[in-house]
Amino acid sequence: MKVFKASKSLVSHLSSQSRPLGFVPTMGALHDGHLSLINKALEQNHSVLVSIFINPTQFDNQTDLENYPTHFEADLQKIEKINGNISVYLPKAFDVYGQNIQSKSFDLGGLDLIMEGEKRSGHFQGVATVVSYFLNTFQPEKAYFGEKDFQQLRIVNHITQSQKLKTKIVSCPIVREKDGLAMSSRNALLTETERKFAPKLYESLCYAKKNAKHIQYGQLKDRINDFFKKYDLLTLDYFRITNAATLKEIDLEKPVSKGRAFIAAHLGKIRLIDNMDMS
Ligand code: AMP
């Protein structure tokens, strides 16, 4: 495994690697969800690049950024264990941004202004800035993103289309704990008690899927709201079912025939998100 702190030396290294190149961007604190992306990239490519970079511009909250878990040594060991030939990009912010740690401004077709974008101002401009930098700099044939961050996946697809990038975006299913909780680096920050309540997000998505075709969407939304009111520790941020491609909310008066349900909730100081296909 070769670890690069500077994109310049990495680009020169990549020019000697056999193609296709599969790229897996992460913010580290790697878990089995991340590893599933890396394994898929290994299956589909001759070379694989993993980045570990906690991108400051996608955090709208300084405390969230400061508390974001970092386990770089353990991350490198996990990658090495999967495959010793993977290249790793582990930069400081200066290597990505220079002196000016700021997002660029992208037209993301409004996909950045709803749900996570509405709750986390500027988040997707930060994501778009770093993803666009990575794809333009490393020019991978394929890049792997998890459905765990479904809105991000849609936005990355939008960027590659609008910028006419040659990279194919590969979406990967959500990896869950045994009790249904979607794996996330932030789960490690939950207290023991909070952790017990964390699968409620998954439970409510399953409830939605089971009932969606039988009741009006608006009624379903009310039921999910009521469900969360029962738990003092949990505060629902939003529950929404949208068209999976446009992310536009479906008609409140109709039962759900297909679409994607999205949920975000606060559990103590931690904010969790999840989503599920409703068809
Ligand atoms: P992050 O380190 O949280 O930025 O995530 C890096 C990539 O891993 C993103 O494409 C995420 O969507 C993906 N990812 C994170 N958690 C999971 C999961 N539980 N299942 C599948 N993919 C995931």
pLDDT digits (tens, 9 = 90+) for 195-226: 999 999 999 999 999 999 999 999 999 999 99
CATH of the domain at 119: 3.40.50.620
What single string gives the DSSP state of each residue in 170-233? EEEPPPB-TTSPBP-GGGGGS-HHHHHHTTHHHHHHHHHHHHTTTSBHHHHHHHHHHHHHT-TT
Residues 87-146 have pLDDT tens digits of: 999 999 999 999 999 999 999 999 999 999 999 999 999 999 999 999 999 999 999 999
Q: Is the peptide bond before 25 cis (omega within 30 degrees of 0)?
A: no
Same domain, 22 and 150: yes
What is the whole-number distance in angstroms between the Cα of residue 149 and the centre of ligand 1? 7
Number of domains in the chain: 2
Is 31 tagged catalytic? no
Q: Whose CA is nearest to atom 19 of ligand 1?
A: 183
CB 269 within 8 A of CB 246: no
Tokens of 133: 């930098």
In a domain, 279, yes or no: no
Decide: pTM greater than 0.75: yes
**CA 140 – CA 153 distance, rounded (Å):** 16
What single string gives the DSSP state of each residue in 107-138? --TTTTSSTHHHHSTTHHHHHHHHHHHHHHHH
Domain that includes residue 104, residue range: 2-172
- Kindly give the number of the ligand 1 atom that is closest to the alpha carbon of 184: 16
Helices and strands per DSSP (H, E), number in the chain: 11, 9
Among 13, 34, 71, 158, the active-site one is: 34
